[in-house]
Structures are given as structure tokens and as C-alpha cells.
Structure 1
Amino acid sequence: MEEKKLDINSIIGFVLIFGILMYMLWQNQPTPEELEAQEKAKQEQVETEQKAENQESSLATSSEDFSTISEPDSTQLTDLRNKLGAFSYSASLPSATTKETTVENEVLRLKFSSKGGYLSEVMLKNYVNYDSVPIYLIKDKNVNFNINFGTTDSRILNTRDLHFQPSITKNGENTIVSMKLKVSESKFLEYRYELKPNDYMIGFTIRSQGLNDVINSSQEINLDWTLKGYRHDKSVQYENRYTRLTYQHEGNKVSKLGQMGDDEEDEEEVNWLSYRQHFFSSILLSEKPLEKVKLISNNLVEDEEIDTVYTKLYTSKFPLGLEGGEVNQALSFYYGPTDSKILKKYKKNLEESIPFGWGIFGWINKSVFIPLFAFLSGIFPYGIAIIIMTILVRIVMSPVTYKSYVSQAKMKILKPEIAEIQAKHKDNKIKIQQETMALYSKAGASPMAGCLPALVQLPVFYALFMFFPTAFDLRQKSFLWAEDLSSYDTIAELPFHIPFYGDHVSLFPILASIAIFIYMKMTTGQQMASQPTQEGMPDMQKMMKYMIYFSPLMMLFFFNNYASGLSLYYFVSNLITIGIMLVIKNYIIDEDKIHDKIQENKKKPKKQNRFQKKMAEMMEQAEQQKKVKGRKK
């Protein structure tokens, strides 16, 4: 009974203590005014931390801003002089800390490193990559910009290891960033950058002042510019195909280094050089041609599943000339989209860095398809513009399709007669060829007539093959299920990687492959029906049967990682071609009329041209030689 009482008393005691504690907490809780004061104090602390962070990342732009930083002591100064000679002055300045200066306009945000004085970060403000991350052409030390030179006190120095003093000024609306590597306040090597409003081109001058007795003029002053190109597209392999070092030399001649492997070239004079990363470019231009330039391109993508950060490593090396013992080199940098409309504005032939195709293929793109697509896409959505352009191309090419089909129809009608000739002269191949050619000549038919239309279409086919992967306007433009017409569309992700195909399934290549299969089934079937089998020749019918299946399969694999805009074009193009062929076959071509016309032509005396006469003479001579050999035996 006593134990029970004790337990009850203990419980009552604990309850009373808990109640007292809760009462004390309630009494001591902060008032609304105190809570507001605490919140304000927290906000001020956050703002103070952010301000300190911004001050740390944004470098002050004059030496006065570093007046609180302690100067090196005498021992440190001695060490700097022993190491850097005259340039120890620059290392002793308060700005000799590795920080960055940030400036920007409407399209670019730039950071300059005080150590090395070069552009350490370039962000394009209006673009993002496939993963919605801002486009950086330079970031995280993917660049090296260095001048290697000798001094009169027998030192070899690199600007990348030396500290430049930054300053920012204004020239009208332009922002001037000056990075000076100083020997004294009046003697220095300067990188001068000029950024204009809403412009991707940055003026860049390298000049020295008062260094004629510091820089050794008997040794070459070499500039190295190295850049590792970041991947920006969904498929790094596809992007890498259109990532190339391109340069203009010998006047207006434009050349490129290797597309996929490693390559290098030495050029005597270069006007500009472009580190093209598919849809974005880093271009160095010079007012005077750069002399003795060494250009190097190294492929960094060996395995698409592993190498997914960088595409290529670009390197350019060239000497800087001296004038009166001083450096004075006027250059410019372009960091921006590989867009022909923008590049043309600079009137430096920079648009030629875009791979439109060589010769007639490039001319077709620049003169026909680019203006046509620009017009259509200004009126219609981009996917619809592709379809309309495809329809127009097929209508223009329909006479060629018609001629090809007529030629095949003629060959089909003549096939029985050719078979008779082969049976009649089965032991005399020369006679078969003579009579077959005579028949073709009288009937106005030719086995080559069906091939010529296909050859006529090749320039258009190849031009469009180059147009779609380089059309900047298609970048990140959606149509139906395709999120980006400049990249592949995806309807399913695979849990594994198929060699040459990828780890996804694209629908447009599947549709294009089906359309190609139907088209080839129609055309190849017609060709097989019209082509006679010749003894001693390869079995063309068998080869054509293989092609019916091989071509769509190749399309399916090859285009799975290509631009969906290109697959859309091939799909629509083949559908239209199938429709045109059905109309020609069922409503335009009458095989009976063609047969009657052939018979009429055969009755007319046919005058042979010079080539036909020569061929007939050669066959006749071969026939005579064969007879002579037969007699000797």
C-alpha cells in the first residue's frame, strides 16, 4: 500500500515539474518584435556573406583598391627578382593574386584571370545546352592562352605564370578591359579587350610599351592558344562529326583539319582560325595575316559511353613580330553561335567555316536551300517549313523522276527482244553486244538513261544532307514528338547500348526506313523487270534484291543519332516520290503507246553518232580478230 502511494506521489511530482518547465518556456518565449528583430539580423548576415562572396569573386580594377593588402617584404622581393627579373615588379603589386574580373553585355558574360591576363570564362547568355545548362565556351581551365618570350637577362618566361594588373574603363558604350603585365608604371605588356554592346566580337590587342630593352628581340615570341571543346549536344559522336578546326589562308581559301582523328598542319599565312564546336565557335581573327602558324586538332572522343565531356582539343601556335623592339598585334575574338546570318555581318568570310559542302553542293545550300528555308521558317513553324521545302524540292525534281521511269519502261518492253538476241548468238558475245546496241539505238532507249536522272539528283541529295545538320535555326526547335530538330528524337530509352545504333530508339529514322523500303521495292522491282541478264556479268537482280533490304537498314542505324530534321525530310521526300511514281505509272505512262513508238523508231533509219560508229568499228574489229584466230586453230 505504501509502495502504491509512493508511485502516485512520484507521478504527481513529475507532472508538476513538467508543468513548471512549460510555464517558464512560455514566459520566456520571444515577443513578435523580438522575432522580427532576429529575422532581420539573419537577413543582414546572409546579405553580408553574399556581399563578401561577390567581392571575393569580382576583382577590383585599380591598384588603390588593394591599398590595404600588405606589400612583400625585402626577402620576398629578392626572391621575386631572382625568379622573374624585371617582371618581379608586377608580382609585387597588390593585384598579384589569382582573381577574376567580370564584365558582360547583352549576349556575353566574360571573366578575365589576373594570372595570365587571359579570358578564363566565356558564357553565352542566350543559349543553353541539351541539358538546359548555360553554354560555356570557356570554363574550368579548358583554355590556355600563353606568350612565351625571352628577356635580355637570359630568362624564358610564360605569361600564363605572371600576374597582370586589371582595369576597366569606358569608351563611349564600349567596355575596355586592360590587363597589364608591368615592369614599372610606364613599362608593360598589355592585353586590351574591347567589348561592344550586344556583340559577340571582342576587340583584342597585344602591345608592349617600353620593353625594347627587356624583351630579347633575337628570340621568337610565340603565342599558344589551346582550347578543349565542351560537348553541348545530346549525342557527343554526332556533335563531334561537325566539330572541326577551320581556317582561312592564302587569301580566301578555307581549309579544315581532320574530322574525327588527330591532325595537324603548318600554314605560312592565316587570316582567321575557328575552333568550331558544331553550333558554337571560338574564332581568332587578325588584321594582318598570322605567319608560320601551326594548327593541331586532337580527337577526345574514343568511346561515346565514357568520353562525354569534351569533343576535341585544339591548338594554335604562331610567332608575334616586333616593331622597333615592341609588340603590337591587332586581333579579335569571336565567341558565339555558328550561325551564317550572324557571321555574315562581320564581312570576314567567317560563314565559310560552316560545312555547307564543297563545290556545287555548297553553292546549292548557300544560294537555294538556306534562303528558301529562311523564308519558309519566317512564315511557318520549323517542322512545317521542312515539309513544305521537301514538297517543293520533289516537285522541281519530278521531271527527272518521270524520265527515269520512262527509261525503265522502255527497257522493260525491249527485254524479250534482247533475250531473243542472246539466245540467237549465245556463243558470240561480241555479236550480242553489237545487236543489242543496234536495238537500243533504233528504239531510242539506253540502259544508262535510267541512271542519269539519279546522278542529277545526287547534288541535291548531298546538299540537303549537309544542310540539316548545320542549320542553326533548327537547334532546340520542336516538332511533334521531336524536342530538337537539330538532334535525334527519342520515343524509347534502351537499358543497353547497341554498337552503331545507340541507347535509344528514334521514330523518324524508322518511318524514313519504311518509306525507303517501299520506294526501293517499287523502283528496284521495275529495274529488275527491265534489265536483261547478260552472260559473264554480275547477277544484278540478286544485288538489287540485297539493296532493297540493306539500304533501309543502313538508314535505320546511321540516322538514329542524326538530326531528326534530316530524317523528317527523307521520310516526307520518299512518301512524295512514291506518290509521284504511282501517278506516273497509273495515269501518265501508257506502256502500249511506248511500245508502238519504239516499233516506229525501229523502222526509221537511225544515224549513228561518232561514239556509236567508233564502238561499232571496235566490235567489228574484235569480231574479225576472233574469226582469224578460229581459222588458225
Structure 2
Amino acid sequence: MEEKKFDVQSLIGFLLIGGILIWMLYNNSFENEQDPSQEKTTEQVEDIPTTPAAQVEEIPKGQQDSAALAQTQRQLGSFGYSATLPSATNNTTTVSNDLLELKIDNKGGYISEARLTQFKTYDSIPVYLIKDGNASFNLTFTTSDGRILNTNDLFFEPTVTESGENQVISMKLKVSETEFLEYRYVLKPGEYMMDFSIRSQGLSDVINPSNEIKLDWDLKGYRHAKSLSYENQYTELIFEYDDGEDDYLGQGDLKEDEATSVTYVAYKQHFFTSILLTDTPFSRGKFTSRNLVQDEDIDTIYTKAFSTTLPLQLKGGELNYNMNWYYGPTDYKILNDYDRNLDEIVPLGWGIFGWINKFIFIPFFAFLATFLPNYGLAIIVLTIVVRIVLSPVTYKSYLAQAKMKVLRPEINELNEKYKDNPMKKQQETMKLQNKAGASPLSGCLPALMQIPVFYALFQFFPSAFQLRHKGFLWADDLSSYDTIAELPFSIPFYGDHVSLFPILASIAIFVYMMMTTGQTMSQNQQPGMPNMKFIMYLSPIFMLFFFNNYASGLSLYYFTSNLITIGIMLVIKYAIIDEEKIHAKIQENKKKPKKQGKFAKKMQDMMEQAEQQQKNKKK
């Protein structure tokens, strides 16, 4: 099994953040030197084929007698009994609590409709995870007389009872009144998670134990968000295996994977998720994800098609699996409270980035939301606090830049003096920096320290369920893009609309770069180094295009962050940093004997050896 890897948006985000920060590193180094019920897609999605099985013919009322039983038994063997019962019709059983409304079909015994009652789509349509045949749940098994049957073709008998405040729905596929295969659903009040079990009674002589029972669960994810492409980036299949390990299929037209000891499978549709969990791990699982969006103007209903195949094991000739279904929001708090590793479904970043989100940003943002009247204000306050906390790092980085600026005349003299001896020039420059206490690394390291925070927030805002359908200023939904103008055409990689927050963020980044490096960038451009002037212009443009379809909450954060950083830099430059004092301090440091560090000493020795080798070659 492969290690958990970057997905596309994470990699792009990481590169973007790196592009924005690379100028900081270079600056120091060069100083040295639609509605689903109404719309239809034009492309048909191929169904994953199942094993050919006997087809069930519905028995008309009045003909459910011994002759009918004989007819269905010829088709279905012992399970012909189920087709003669009054329940052998395409009726549904409806149950609901304050969060979910479910419809379960007699035919197949599975949920034919799952609606989240508390939420609407971007165009004010109720949120359905299952509707109009977009999902199926099927067991394929072989009977003792050699018939291959699919539960999707067979009729279950429903019974609804109550156990305290819980609603219990029993769906029985009967061989007789005392012999059956049962799906048992338990819907609890105030819960998105329900108990689900598959068990059999008296079927040890009916089901052939030598042939594997196969469970197939398929679902095509409905579109729920305004930006289809953005929602699709966060729509993926996640699974847990091997005692708590988790992985995902990622993006692509067709992705497949396999795992052993599977404990849950989740079909995440960005902000809403369908999950099948089991107490008894499945011995193995096969997973498939197929992208259904090839043309956003045509493929407007679905995002991806997911498929999972799992084997079921008989124990004593019977089935007995205790499981759960979850149909609900991809909300970190809700999923984490179940204490079943479901928080991994929320893409908060790997390693340290995820830890920063889980233990710092999520709790703090939730705290801000308890007393601030608007989530937009919560984003601004969060950004202010982050920038204040990081201000010492910003100060150290700027101080390093100021020291290198003061040393620039002396470094230029060394460059001119040793222009024909690059090795000696580098060696003397390092000596000067060491004496002055102005190592370029002192400016690079603070910039690198900020990357985990920036990347963690890049993951946090697109995954923050609480931002969904929450407006701020001109943005009506902080979890989606804001729109100030609709374009009569679509620009590649940009879209058919204009978002203002990305524009403001791009301008702020450009101003910040001009303040810190723009004035000296051209004259200090060194051969062999990246064209930083090009990067300075490219980064804001890239952000403008990349974030035009992203969550406006994320763009609001970047705009606010860079605006605050500009303010902090102005305060540092004009109220804190005094270049004359820095120059005097450097001259004082140069007079003092300074102990050379091991690393610097090793680097100097290596340069001296290389210089000596060059001299020997010339002799």
C-alpha cells in the first residue's frame, strides 16, 4: 500500500505558497550575493457489471398462490418465497429524524433516497446524497442449488418498530417465515450516523459456503456547490485499513486501489459524505473512482462515480455483520466526536500541517465564532492574531535584510576585488558576514518557519464546513467564490466570472514584494539565479487565476494577511529599524573576536581546500 500522498490541490497550494515566499529567501541570498431532479447529463456513466443473476418478475396481486410460488421457485429456488409475499412490490418505507429523511425500497432493501433536512444546495435545492437511482447496495451470492442471485433483484419485507426513541427498520429477504436475510437499520434522534447490520437466519443450507459473497456499493456524487470544478477537487474516496491506516484515491479520470482489513469506506462530496463502517473488518476491498466531469457546460449533475467491492464471510453458515451508515456533513467536529478516525476524511493536511489545524486553528476559529457576529470577521481576527504571533519572525527576517543592506557596499568592494576568483570572493564574503553577525541564513530560516502556518491555513479554509453559505460583504458564500461580474465568455484557467477578493489579495502581494525587493531586484540580479522580477509579477497573477474559483474565505485570509504584513513592515522599517544603529553595531561586532561555528568553520576549510586545489592545477 502506498504512503499517503499529496493530492492535486495540496501540491498546487504548496507550490503557490513556496512561490510567494521564495522571494524572501532569494532577497537574503542575493544581498549576500444544477437541480438533480430536473437536469440530465448528455454522457452516460457505465455501470460496473455484476455477476449475471436470475431476474425477478413481480407477481400480480391475486396470483400469489401455489402456482405462483412454483413459478418463482423455478426462477429463484428457495428465495422464490419472497416474491409471493405482499411486500413484493416497488414500495418504499420512509423514516426520519430532525436531520435525515430516508426512503428504503422493498426491492433490494437499500436506501433509495437520503435527504439532509438542514441544508440546501447552492441553488436552494434540498441536499440529497441518494436520489433517482444514483446509488446501489447489492449482495451477490450463490445458492446451494447453483443459482447466482443479487439482492438488488429481490424483494424484502419491511417492518418498522421503535426501541425507545430509536426507529428500527427491519428489511427481511425471506425463504420462509423463520428463514431470512435481514438488513436492520436503527435511526437515532439527532444523529447522522445510524446502526446497520446484515445477518441471516436459517440459511446455512440455502447459501453455498464455497462461493464468496460479494458486497458492491456504488454511488454517483451529486453536485451541491456553485463551482463544479472546485467541488470536484475535494470529492474523493477515502478508506481505512490495517488497524487505523487511511488512504484515498485522489484525483484523475479513473483511479483504482485495493486494501486489506478494511474498516470503513467514505464517499466524500466535499462538504457532504456517505460512509460505510464495520465493527468486523472486511478481509479486503477494491475501490474505484471515476471522474464524471469532462465538460463543465455539459456534465452538470454529477462529480464522480465511486464503487467498492468487499467480500463477506460466513460464520457457521450464516452472515453476521454489525455496521454503521453515515450520511451527513463533512464537518470535522461531528466526525471527530465519533472517535472512529473519521476526522481523517477532512483534508486538513499531512503531518505537522494537520496537527496545526486540529489543535490550533480549528479550536481557535470555533472560539471566535462563539462571540463574533460574522464568520468573515472571524477570519479577519484569526488572520490578525496569526500575523501578530508571527511578527517576531517577520522582524528577524527584516532585520537580517537590513544588515545585509548595510553590508552591501563592503560586499561590492569584495566582488570587485576578487571578481576573477569566485572561490576567494565567496570565502571573504563569508568572513565579513561572520564578523558582522549578518548571516543570510538568519533571514532565510524565519521565512521557512512561516510555511507550515501558511500551508495549514491553505488547507483549513476550504475544509471549514461552518463557512458554507455564510456571507460577508459582497461574498454570499465564504466557502465558494465571490462574484462581482459575470463574463459573457469563459477564460481558460480563470472562469466566466470575476472575483474581487483574489484581485485584492494579488494586489496586496504585489505591493508587499515591491516594498521589500522591487527597488533592488533588477540591479542585484545575479547570473544563474532565478529571475526574481519575473517571479514577483508571476506570483500575484498566478494567485489571481488560481483563487478565482476557490473559497472566498481563503482569498479573504490572504488579502488580510498581506495587508497586515505590509503594515507590520512599515512599522518595522520606519519606527523600529535604525540603519545607522545597525551599521554602528556591525562595525562594533567586526572589532570583537568572534568564535566561528563548526558549520562555518567546515565551510571555510572546504573553500580553502578548493582554492588550494585550483592553485595547484595552475602550477
1:228 and 1:282 map into 2 onto residues whose CA distance is 11
Quote the residue 2:80 is aligned against: 88
1:550 and 1:449 map into 2 onto residues whose CA distance is 26
* Deviation of 1:304 (Å): 2.3
Q: Which secondary structure does the structure 2 equivalent of 1:597 belong to? A: helix
Question: Within 5 Å, which residues of 2 pair with 1:207-246?
Answer: 207-246=199-238
1:549 and 1:306 map into 2 onto residues whose CA distance is 35
Quote the residue 1:482 is aligned against: 475
Question: Within 5 Å, which residues of 2 pair with 1:145-184?
Answer: 145-184=137-176
Q: Does 1:586 align with 2:579?
A: no
In 2 relative to 1, CA 261–403 (structure 1 residues): closer, same or farther, beyond 3 Å?
farther
Gaps of at least 5 residues in structure 2 are 1-57
Under a length normalisation based on structure 1, what TM-score does the superposition of the two structures give? 0.86
Comparing 302-311 with 507-516, greater Cα deviation is found at 302-311
1:345 and 1:625 map into 2 onto residues whose CA distance is 65
Counterpart contact for 1:98–1:114, Cα < 8 Å: yes
Question: Within 5 Å, which residues of 2 pair with 1:72-221?
Answer: 72=64, 76-221=68-213
Question: Within 5 Å, which residues of 2 pair with 1:511-530?
Answer: 511-525=504-518, 528=521
Alignment deviations for residues 385-418 of structure 1 (CA, whole Å, 9 cap, x no partner):
1111111111001111111111111111111211
Quote the residue 1:25 is aligned against: none
* Deviation of 1:239 (Å): 0.7
In 2 relative to 1, CA 619–67 (structure 1 residues): closer, same or farther, beyond 3 Å?
closer
* Deviation of 1:326 (Å): 0.6
Match of 1:410 among 364, 379, 403: 403
Quote the residue 2:338 is aligned against: 346
State, as a whole percentage, how many aligned pairs show the same letter: 63
Q: Does 1:538 align with 2:531?
A: no
Q: Which secondary structure does the structure 2 equivalent of 1:356 belong to? A: coil
In 2 relative to 1, CA 96–375 (structure 1 residues): closer, same or farther, beyond 3 Å?
same
Gaps of at least 5 residues in structure 1 are 1-65
Quote the residue 2:546 is aligned against: 558
1:610 and 1:454 map into 2 onto residues whose CA distance is 23
Quote the residue 1:622 is aligned against: 610
Quote the residue 2:27 is aligned against: none
Quote the residue 2:412 is aligned against: 419
Q: Which secondary structure does the structure 2 equivalent of 1:244 belong to? A: strand
- AA at the equivalent of 2:518: G
2:555 and 2:293 map into 1 onto residues whose CA distance is 25
- AA at the equivalent of 1:489: D
Larger-Rg structure? 1
Match of 1:279 among 259, 262, 271: 271
Which gives a bigger RCO, structure 1 or 2 (Cα 8 Å, sep 6+)?
2
Counterpart contact for 1:240–1:260, Cα < 8 Å: no
1:99 and 1:533 map into 2 onto residues whose CA distance is 75
Quote the residue 2:555 is aligned against: 567
Q: Which secondary structure does the structure 2 equivalent of 1:323 belong to? A: coil
Question: Within 5 Å, which residues of 2 pair with 1:388-403?
Answer: 388-403=381-396
In 2 relative to 1, CA 223–384 (structure 1 residues): closer, same or farther, beyond 3 Å?
same
Comparing 139-148 with 241-250, greater Cα deviation is found at 241-250
Q: Which secondary structure does the structure 1 equivalent of 2:319 belong to? A: strand
Q: Does 1:507 align with 2:495?
A: no
Match of 2:364 among 365, 368, 372: 372
Counterpart contact for 2:357–2:460, Cα < 8 Å: yes
- AA at the equivalent of 1:579: G
Quote the residue 2:280 is aligned against: 288
1:105 and 1:616 map into 2 onto residues whose CA distance is 73
Quote the residue 1:252 is aligned against: 244
In 2 relative to 1, CA 526–269 (structure 1 residues): closer, same or farther, beyond 3 Å?
farther
Quote the residue 2:459 is aligned against: 466
Under a length normalisation based on structure 2, what TM-score does the superposition of the two structures give? 0.88
Q: Does 1:437 align with 2:430?
A: yes
- AA at the equivalent of 1:630: K
In 2 relative to 1, CA 97–533 (structure 1 residues): closer, same or farther, beyond 3 Å?
closer
1:354 and 1:438 map into 2 onto residues whose CA distance is 50
Q: Does 1:548 align with 2:536?
A: yes
* Deviation of 1:82 (Å): 1.9
Comparing 117-126 with 615-624, greater Cα deviation is found at 615-624
Counterpart contact for 1:222–1:320, Cα < 8 Å: yes
2:432 and 2:228 map into 1 onto residues whose CA distance is 56
2:342 and 2:310 map into 1 onto residues whose CA distance is 20
* Deviation of 1:122 (Å): 0.2
1:274 and 1:87 map into 2 onto residues whose CA distance is 32
- AA at the equivalent of 1:267: A
Quote the residue 1:24 is aligned against: none
Quote the residue 1:30 is aligned against: none
2:533 and 2:257 map into 1 onto residues whose CA distance is 45
- AA at the equivalent of 2:540: P
2:580 and 2:518 map into 1 onto residues whose CA distance is 19
Counterpart contact for 1:224–1:315, Cα < 8 Å: yes
- AA at the equivalent of 2:547: F
* Deviation of 1:273 (Å): 1.5
- AA at the equivalent of 1:146: N
Say what the alpha-carbon RMSD is for the aligned residues: 1.7
In 2 relative to 1, CA 489–195 (structure 1 residues): closer, same or farther, beyond 3 Å?
same
Quote the residue 1:63 is aligned against: none
* Deviation of 1:221 (Å): 0.4
Counterpart contact for 1:150–1:157, Cα < 8 Å: yes
1:248 and 1:98 map into 2 onto residues whose CA distance is 35
Equivalent residues, number: 561
In 2 relative to 1, CA 190–91 (structure 1 residues): closer, same or farther, beyond 3 Å?
same
2:67 and 2:207 map into 1 onto residues whose CA distance is 26
Q: Which secondary structure does the structure 1 equivalent of 2:441 belong to? A: coil
Quote the residue 2:585 is aligned against: 597
Counting helix residues as a fraction of each chain, which structure ranks higher?
Answer: 1
* Deviation of 1:449 (Å): 2.4
Counterpart contact for 1:408–1:526, Cα < 8 Å: no
* Deviation of 1:525 (Å): 2.6
In 2 relative to 1, CA 235–526 (structure 1 residues): closer, same or farther, beyond 3 Å?
same
2:133 and 2:571 map into 1 onto residues whose CA distance is 61
* Deviation of 1:305 (Å): 2.3
